Structure 1
Amino acid sequence: MNLIVTGKNRGKRAPLLGVQPFKGANTELLLKVVIGVLAYVSVFAIMLAAVSPKRYDLKVGDIATESIRAPRDVENKIATQRRIEQAKQSVAPIYRLNQDVKVETVEEVNRIFEEIRIVRGLANQRLKEWEEKQGAALPQQRPPGGEAAREAQVQQDNEASQSKGTGQKDIYDAAKGEIDYQQVFDRQFLEQLKGRISVELSNDELLACITADEAEISQLQERLIEILINLLDLKIKEDNLLEAKNTLRNEVLTLPISSDLRLVGTTIGLTLLKPNMVYDHEATEAERQKAAQNVEKVIYKKGQYIVQDGQPVTEEQIAMLKELGLLKDELFDVPLVVGLGLLILVLEIAGMLYIHYFEKELADQPHMFILISLVVCLTLGVSYGMSVVNQYLMPVAMSALLLTVLIKPRIAFFVNVLLAVLVGIMTRGQLGVVVAGLLGGMTGIFIAHRSQQRNGLFLAGLGASATSMLSTAGYELIVSGSWWAALRSSLWGGGSGVLAAVLAVGTLPVWENVFGIITPIRMIELSNPNHPLLKRLLREAPGTYHHSIIVANLAESAAQAVGANGLLARVGAYYHDVGKLNRPYYFRENQLTSENPHDKLNPTLSTNIITSHTKDGVKLAQKYRIPKAIQDFILQHHGTTPVIYFYHKAKNNNRDVKLDDFRYTGPKPQTPETAIVMLADTVEAAVRTLPDPTPGKIEGLIRKLIKEKLEDGQLDECHLTLKDLDSIATAFKDVLCGIFHERVEYPDVDLKEERDEGDDGGH
C-alpha cells in the first residue's frame, strides 16, 4: 500500500485497521513484547517439529528393524577414544640421561670400600686383643703373598698346634691352615662391623673382606668402578636394569681374585647399580597428548548409515543415537534445540530492528506485528506440510504475495529473505530450496506490487512459479548434472508458485476482514460502479452519486499532491454520502423540483435529518461489508462542522439558539485522506453556487472555505500542514477549473434552412 505523507507524520501510514495506535507507551511496549514472544514460540515449535528426526526405542543388543541414517554429522566418541588410547600407547616413554648417577655411583663405591678398610682395622685390633689374651703367637690374618706362602704358613701353624698338645680345641684349624674367625669374632661383634658398612653383607662376605689382602681389595675397588662406569655409559633404563646386573655379575666373577671376594664385589655392584636413564613423565605425557590431538575423529557424515537393518545394535551406535537425540528415552537433542533457538532469535531480532529503523510507521501499530507473525507461521506450517511431499513444493512466496498486498513491498521483501533462511534450516541446508524461495518470492513481489485486481495475484504466483522452476533446474543441473533430476525438481518448484498464489488469493479476504485492512485490490473492487451500494446510490440518489464522483476526482488529485493515498481518498469519496439513501430528497442535489421538504419542517428537525446521514451511512456500509477504513470517511467527512443554513434559520426565530446544537457529531477527520474528502465535499458544493465561476473566483472561494475549516478546528487532528493545505487548494482549483471552464457561445443556426439554401445554389 502507498505511504500516507503528511506534515507532522510525513512518511507515516494511516492506521490500517481504522483504529488509532495505542495511547499508552507502556501498554504498547508490553503488547509488542507479548507478540514477539508468542511469534518466537510459534516459529520455534514449527521449526522444531520440522527438523526433529524420528526417534527409536533401542538398546544394546537389539536387532534394528530399519536402517538409521545420521541426520547430521556425529562423532563416534567410543571409537575415537579407542584411537586416542592406541595413539598414546604407541608413544615410547621418554628418558633423559642423569649424569649425576655415574658420579654418585663412583663416590658410593669409594665410600663403601673406605668403610670396609675401617672394618678391617677394627677386626685386626680385635684379633690382636684375642692373641694377647690367648698368649699364643697365631697369625693375625691370612698371610698375603700367594698360595706357596699360605702353604708354608699352614705348615708352621700345624707344628705350633702340635707343640701345644691335644688336650683342648683351638681357634687354629690345622687341617685347614686358617684361623677359625667364628671363635675370634663373636656374633655381636660381627653385627657391629656390618653396621658400619652401607651395603648389607653376609657374615661370610664380611669375613672375606676382613681376611682378604689389601691388594685384592684395591683391585676389586678399581675393577668394580670400571665395570659400573662401562655399564652406565650404555645408558641403563628401568626395563633393562636386570640385564645390566647380569652383565655386572658375570664380569665380576671373572676377576682374578678370591671367590669370596668376588661375591663381595657382586653384592656391592648389584646394590649400587641403578638406571641412569630417568623416565621423563612430563615430556612423555606431552608427546602422548600431542599424539592424541593428531588422532582423526571417527565421524559419521550426514546421511551415512549408523545402524543397518537386521543388525544388532552396539554400544557405540547407541551412544551416537543418544547424542543425536534419536532415542525415545532421551528428552531432546540439546545442540539441535539450542542452535535452532539461537538462529530464530537472531532472525526475529533482525526483523524487529528493521521495522524499528526503516519502517517506523509500522512500529506504532502492534496489530501489524500480529499480521506479519501469523503470515510467517502460516507459510512455515504449510511449507512443513508440503516438504513431506517434496521439498521444492514449499510455497515460500505466499508470504511475499500477501505482505506485498496487505502492507508494502519492502516488508514483504525482508520477510521473504527471513523465510528463505528458515526453510533452508527446515530442509537442513538445501541451498536449492533457499534459492528458489528467495528468487520466486522476489518475482512475486515485483508483479503483485502493481496488481490492482485479484487475478493479478495469480499472475504474480505464476511469475514466482516460473522463477522457481528456472532456479531449481539450474541448481539441480549444477549439483547432480542430471537432466531428468533437474526437470523433475523444476516441476515441483513450479508447483510451489502456483500453490502460493492459490493460498494467497484464497486467504486474502480473511486477512482483510479480520484485520480490517483495505488493500489496493479491495479498493479497486469497491470503486467498481457495479458495486451494489454504488448502483443503489446511482438509482435512488443520482445527484449525490454525481456529486460523489466529482468529490472523488478532487480528493484523489489533492491526495496525490500532498503524498497521501490517492486511491483511498477516491474510494472514500465514492461512499462518503451513502447515508443520504435513507432520505435522498431531503438533500438539495436530489431535489428534481423547486419544492423543498425542509420548508415544512422546523430548523432543528431539519438539522437532525441532515446530520444523521453520517451515522446512517455507517450502518449501510456495515450492512454491505464496507471496510472500516471507508466507514471512517462516512463518519468523519463533516467533522463537527455546523449546519449554518438551518442555524441562521433557527436564529431568526429564536435568538437564544446555540451553534453547537447544529453541529455534526463528528469525530473530526483523523487522517489526511478523510480531511481532504471533507474539504473536497465542501468546495464542490460551494463552487456550484457561483454565478460566474471564473478561475479567480473559484480559487478565492476554495481558499476561503479551507481557511474557515482551519479556523473552526476541523483540521486539528489530521496532521495536515499549511503547505499541504496550499497544495490541496491548488489541486482543487485545477480540477474545478477544468469542470467549470468557459464555453464558446454557439450561434443559433437553422440547419434545414442552411441545407436548403445550399441545394438551391447548386442548381
Structure 2
Amino acid sequence: MNRILSFLQTVHDKKGVFASVTLVMAVVLFVLLSFVTNENTYTIERFQLSPETIRSTKTVEDPLKTEQDRLAARESVDPVYVFQEEASDNQAAWTSSVFETILVIKQEALSEDSEQPPVQQLKVELEALSNELVERLSDEELSVLLNQPASTLTTADEVVTDEVATALNQPIRGPQLTVAREEAASRVLERLPFPTNFETILTKILAVAIIETEFLDEELTEQRIQQAVNAVEPTRILQGQLLVQQGQYVDREIYRQLELTGMIEDTVQYKSYLGLAVLIFLAVAMVYCAIHLTKGTRKTRLTWLTVALVVILVASILMVLTSMIDDNFTISLAFLFPTGFVAMTVYLLTSERLAYISLIANALLSGYIFREDFTTFLQTDVALYTLIGGLSGIFAFKFLSGSAPILKASGIVAATNALFMLAYLLLSTSALTLNYSLLSLGLALLSGLISGAFTFGTLPFFESAFGILSTMKLFELANPGHPLLKKLLMETPGTYHHSVMVANLSEAACEAIGANGLFARVACYYHDIGKTRRPGFFIENQTNGYNPHDSLPPETSASIIRDHTTDGAALLIQNRIPKAIVDVALQHHGTTCIKFFYHKAKQHDETCIEADFRYEGPKPQTKEAAVISIADSVEAAVRSMKQPDSEKIMKLVDSIIKDRVNDGQFDECDISMKDLQIVKQSICTTLKGFYHERIQYPEEDKK
C-alpha cells in the first residue's frame, strides 16, 4: 500500500502520467473483459466426422443463402408486358390505306394523266406508307396489284383489313409473330379464292400489317423484381440451431456454417475485440475527462483518477466472476451484483462528479458483461439496474445525515433495486412464477445490502493504499468520543475549546474558497493535540494566573511552544491518524516566528537569532492548511482582545494575513490573493457572530 502511495507522490508531476494511468487500466480491463468476449470454438476438420454435436451460440446472417434466395426470387418474377389496344385500329387503317393507294394509282393509270409509269408511282406512294412493304414487293408484284380488277382490290381490302383487325385484337409478342401472320393468311385464303400470284402479295401485306401488340415493360418488371428481392428476409443461422451432430459427415456446407458462426477454432473474432476496445475506451475516457474538469492539485487528481479506475476494475472482476457461474442458476445473478458499490465508494473517496461518471462507466461495462448472448450489444435492463441503484446510493449520501450513513445508504439502494425489479417483473411479457418473482426481489434487496458491505469493507484499503481521507473516516475522526479528542478535552480543556473555535472559522472559510471544509474542521480538532504533553505552558490552559514561562528563559519557552507541533505529529502517528491530519499539525504554524519570546530574548541579548525562535515547519502545503494557520492565529488574537468589535476584528484579520503573506508562509501552497480576501471576509463574518455587541441593560434589570 505504501508503494502505491509513494508511486503516486513520485510521478504526479510527470508529463503524460494521467494518460498513462488511464491507458494501463484500460488495457487491464480489456484483458479481463476478453474472457467474456471469447466464444466457444471447436477443432473441426472438413470432410471428416464431427467429434461432437455443435449448436450455434449466436444468431448470424448467412449471406450466401440470402443471396441465393434473392436470386431465386428475381428469377421467379415474370416479365411484365403491356398490351397496345390501339394497334388493331391503327394497323387496320394502315392496311386499308395500302389498298386505297393501289386503287388511286390504278385510276390515274387508266386516265393516262400520270407523268411516270404506274409501277414507279405506286412504289413512291407505298414507300410513304411503309418502306418494309416496298422492300418486300418486287416491281412485277406491284404490276400484278395494278392489273387486278377494282372489285378484286376492294374485296381484298375488306377481307385483309378485317383479318388484320381480328388478329391484332389478341396479344402478340415477338416470337408469336410468324404464327399469327401465317394464321391470318390462311384465314384470308379460306374466305375468298384469289389468283396464286395475288395471294402471295396479300400474304406479304399481312406480314407487314400484323405487328407485336404486347411489349415488355422493363421499368415495371424491374420494380416487381426489386419488390420480390426486398421481400426476401435475410437467411439466418439462429442461436441454438443444430449445425452438426456427433458423428455426422462435415461437408462443405456444414463447414461453411461453422466458419460463419465462428465455431471453428482458427476463427478469430476481430470484430468483437475491436468493439470491446471501443466500449472500454468510452468508459475510461469519461473518467479521464471528468478528472480534468475537477479542481485540485495534480497529485490529488491523479490519486482520484487511480482510485476511480481501480474501483471500476474491482467491480468488473466481481461481474466477470459472477457471469462465469451465472449459467448454473435458473435466475440471472446479474441482479445480485452490488449496484451501489462503485458509486458509493468513489463518492466517499473522491467527489460527487467523479462518482456519477464512474457509475455511468460501470453501468456500460455491466451491460456488456451480463449480456445473455453474443448477438446483444448491451443487456440494457442490467445496465439500467446498475445505474439506478448507484444513483440512489449517491443521493442517499447527499440527503441523509446522522450516524451509520453507509448502512442507511445501502438500505436506500436495496429499496430502489427492489422497486426497479418490481417494475421489471410487472412489465415482463414472460409468464413468471411466484417463486421466481420473490427470488428476484430477494436478489435485488440483497444487492443493496452487499453494496454497503463492499463499500464499508473496501474503504480502509483504499484509504490506506492511496492516503485518502474519506468522508466516512472524517466523520469517525470528528466523533467527540475518539480517544485523542477525549484526551484533549480532559487534559487541555482550553485548547479543546480553542480547537473547536478554529474549526468553525476554518470550515466556513474553506467552503467559501472551494476547499474541503469537513477536512479542515476535523484537522482543527487535532492540530494542537501536541499541547497535551505540557498543557500548563499554553495560556488557554493556565489557571489561577500562574504562568510557568515567567520563570524560564525565553529560548526555553520558545522551544516548548515550538515543540507542540512535532509532539502533536508524533502522537497522531502513534495513534494511526491519517497523514493529511498529521501534516496540518506540522504545518499550521509554518515557519513563523514566536515573536513574544523573540522580543523578550532580544531585550536581554541583542545578538539573538530570529531563526532560533521560528517553528520548524514545513510551510502550509494545501489551501486547508493555509486557512487553518490563519484561523488559528486569528482566534487566539481575538480572544485576547478587550471588547472586540467589527472594525477591530477586520483590522486584526487583515494584519495577520498580510504578515503571513509578507513572511512567505503561503509560497508553497496554491492559495491565491483572491482566496485570501474571501477567507478574510468569511472569518470576519463568523467572528462577528461570536463577538456580537450585547445590549447594555440597566442595573435594576440585572437584579
Q: What is residue 132 of structure 1 aligned with on the other side? A: none
Task: Check conservation: 1:548, 1:574, Cα contact below 8 A.
Answer: no
Match of 1:562, SS? helix
Q: What is residue 389 of structure 2 aligned with on the other side? A: 440
Task: Check conservation: 2:593, 2:610, Cα contact below 8 A.
Answer: yes
Match of 2:443 among 492, 498, 502: 492
Moved more, 312-321 or 619-628: 312-321
Q: What is residue 574 of structure 1 aligned with on the other side? A: 525
Match of 1:94 among 77, 80, 105: 80
Q: What is residue 309 of structure 2 aligned with on the other side? A: 373
Work out the CA distance in 2 between the residues paired with 1:227 and 1:56.
75
Alignment of 1:640-719 (within 5 A): 640-657=591-608, 659-660=610-611, 662-671=613-622, 673-682=624-633, 696-697=643-644, 706-714=653-661, 716=666, 718-719=671-672
Q: What is residue 680 of structure 2 aligned with on the other side? A: 725
Work out the CA distance in 1 between the residues paired with 2:398 and 2:549.
50
Residues 80-133 of structure 1: CA distance to partner in whole angstroms, max 9, x if unpaired?
3344334323322123467899869979x979x99xx9xxxxxxxxxxxxxxxx
Structure 1 residue 391 corresponds to structure 2 residue 340: no
1:393 offset after TM fit, Å?
1.7
1:395 offset after TM fit, Å?
1.9
Match of 2:347 among 384, 387, 404: 404
1:288 offset after TM fit, Å?
0.9
Q: What is residue 216 of structure 2 aligned with on the other side? A: 279
For residues 577 and 251 of structure 1, do their structure 2 counterparts lie closer, same or farther at Cα, with a shift above 3 Å needed? same
Matching residue's letter, 1:305? Q
For residues 353 and 213 of structure 1, do their structure 2 counterparts lie closer, same or farther at Cα, with a shift above 3 Å needed? same
Matching residue's letter, 1:508? L
Q: What is residue 332 of structure 1 aligned with on the other side? A: 269
Residues 317-374 of structure 1: CA distance to partner in whole angstroms, max 9, x if unpaired?
766665655544333263x5566666665666666676777x6569982432332222
For residues 734 and 58 of structure 1, do their structure 2 counterparts lie closer, same or farther at Cα, with a shift above 3 Å needed? same
Match of 1:330, SS? coil
Structure 1 residue 419 corresponds to structure 2 residue 362: yes
For residues 707 and 260 of structure 1, do their structure 2 counterparts lie closer, same or farther at Cα, with a shift above 3 Å needed? closer
Match of 1:712, SS? helix
Residues 417-474 of structure 1: CA distance to partner in whole angstroms, max 9, x if unpaired?
4533442344335454345433432343344457889964244334423432443244
Q: What is residue 170 of structure 2 aligned with on the other side? A: 234
Match of 1:289, SS? helix
Work out the CA distance in 1 between the residues paired with 2:46 and 2:440.
40
Q: Which has the higher Rg, Structure 1 or Structure 2?
A: 1
Match of 2:457, SS? helix
1:398 offset after TM fit, Å?
0.6
Matching residue's letter, 1:285? E
TM-score scaled to structure 2, two decimals?
Answer: 0.70
Task: Check conservation: 2:291, 2:305, Cα contact below 8 A.
Answer: no
Task: Check conservation: 1:439, 1:467, Cα contact below 8 A.
Answer: yes
Work out the CA distance in 2 between the residues paired with 1:700 and 1:211.
140
For residues 306 and 665 of structure 1, do their structure 2 counterparts lie closer, same or farther at Cα, with a shift above 3 Å needed? farther
Q: What is residue 68 of structure 1 aligned with on the other side? A: 55
For residues 207 and 729 of structure 1, do their structure 2 counterparts lie closer, same or farther at Cα, with a shift above 3 Å needed? closer
Q: What is residue 524 of structure 1 aligned with on the other side? A: 475
For residues 699 and 632 of structure 1, do their structure 2 counterparts lie closer, same or farther at Cα, with a shift above 3 Å needed? farther
Work out the CA distance in 2 between the residues paired with 1:58 and 1:410.
52
Alignment of 1:232-381 (within 5 A): 232-241=168-177, 243-244=179-180, 246-248=182-184, 250-251=186-187, 254=190, 256-257=193-194, 275-298=212-235, 305=241, 307=243, 325-332=262-269, 334=271, 365-381=301-317
Matching residue's letter, 1:291? A
Q: What is residue 755 of structure 1 aligned with on the other side? A: none
Q: What is residue 501 of structure 1 aligned with on the other side? A: 452
Task: Check conservation: 1:556, 1:567, Cα contact below 8 A.
Answer: no
Moved more, 607-616 or 465-474: 607-616
Q: What is residue 630 of structure 1 aligned with on the other side? A: 581
Matching residue's letter, 2:230? Q
Task: Check conservation: 2:488, 2:495, Cα contact below 8 A.
Answer: no
1:406 offset after TM fit, Å?
1.4
For residues 431 and 308 of structure 1, do their structure 2 counterparts lie closer, same or farther at Cα, with a shift above 3 Å needed? farther
Work out the CA distance in 2 between the residues paired with 1:399 and 1:532.
32
Matching residue's letter, 1:235? P
Residues 536-593 of structure 1: CA distance to partner in whole angstroms, max 9, x if unpaired?
x669xx75x4454223211222134436355423431233245567888877788999
Question: What's the % identity of the aligned pairs?
Answer: 27
For residues 355 and 532 of structure 1, do their structure 2 counterparts lie closer, same or farther at Cα, with a shift above 3 Å needed? same
Match of 2:660, SS? coil
Work out the CA distance in 2 between the residues paired with 1:42 and 1:726.
49
For residues 663 and 105 of structure 1, do their structure 2 counterparts lie closer, same or farther at Cα, with a shift above 3 Å needed? farther
Task: Check conservation: 1:216, 1:257, Cα contact below 8 A.
Answer: no
Matching residue's letter, 2:414? S
Match of 1:467 among 416, 419, 438: 416
For residues 262 and 697 of structure 1, do their structure 2 counterparts lie closer, same or farther at Cα, with a shift above 3 Å needed? closer
- Number of residue pairs matched by the alignment: 623
Q: What is residue 109 of structure 2 aligned with on the other side? A: none
Work out the CA distance in 2 between the residues paired with 1:494 and 1:557.
40
- RMSD, matched Cα: 5.3
Q: What is residue 108 of structure 2 aligned with on the other side? A: none
Work out the CA distance in 2 between the residues paired with 1:726 and 1:213.
128
Task: Check conservation: 2:409, 2:452, Cα contact below 8 A.
Answer: yes
Work out the CA distance in 2 between the residues paired with 1:316 and 1:379.
43
Alignment of 1:58-207 (within 5 A): 63=50, 65-66=52-53, 68-69=55-56, 71=58, 74-96=60-82, 198=135
Match of 2:268, SS? coil
For residues 645 and 361 of structure 1, do their structure 2 counterparts lie closer, same or farther at Cα, with a shift above 3 Å needed? closer
Match of 1:457, SS? helix
1:315 offset after TM fit, Å?
7.0
Matching residue's letter, 2:503? E
Match of 1:557 among 501, 504, 520: 504
For residues 41 and 268 of structure 1, do their structure 2 counterparts lie closer, same or farther at Cα, with a shift above 3 Å needed? farther
Residues 520-550 of structure 1: CA distance to partner in whole angstroms, max 9, x if unpaired?
2212333457767667x669xx75x445422
For residues 288 and 457 of structure 1, do their structure 2 counterparts lie closer, same or farther at Cα, with a shift above 3 Å needed? same
Residues 168-219 of structure 1: CA distance to partner in whole angstroms, max 9, x if unpaired?
xxxxxxxxxxxxxxxxxxxxxxxxxxxx995699xxxx99999999549987
TM-score scaled to structure 1, two decimals?
Answer: 0.65
Residues 365-400 of structure 1: CA distance to partner in whole angstroms, max 9, x if unpaired?
243233222222322331232233322122221112
1:402 offset after TM fit, Å?
0.5
Work out the CA distance in 2 between the residues paired with 1:670 and 1:471.
47
Structure 1 residue 457 corresponds to structure 2 residue 394: no
Work out the CA distance in 1 between the residues paired with 2:351 and 2:344.
10
* Structure 2, unaligned runs of 5 or more: 106-132, 327-332, 372-377, 694-703
Alignment of 1:206-217 (within 5 A): 215=148
Task: Check conservation: 1:383, 1:395, Cα contact below 8 A.
Answer: no
Residues 710-758 of structure 1: CA distance to partner in whole angstroms, max 9, x if unpaired?
12125755454445434424545766899xxxxxxxxxxxxxxxxxxxx
Match of 1:65, SS? coil
Higher relative contact order, structure no. (Cα contacts within 8 Å, ≥ 6 residues apart): 1
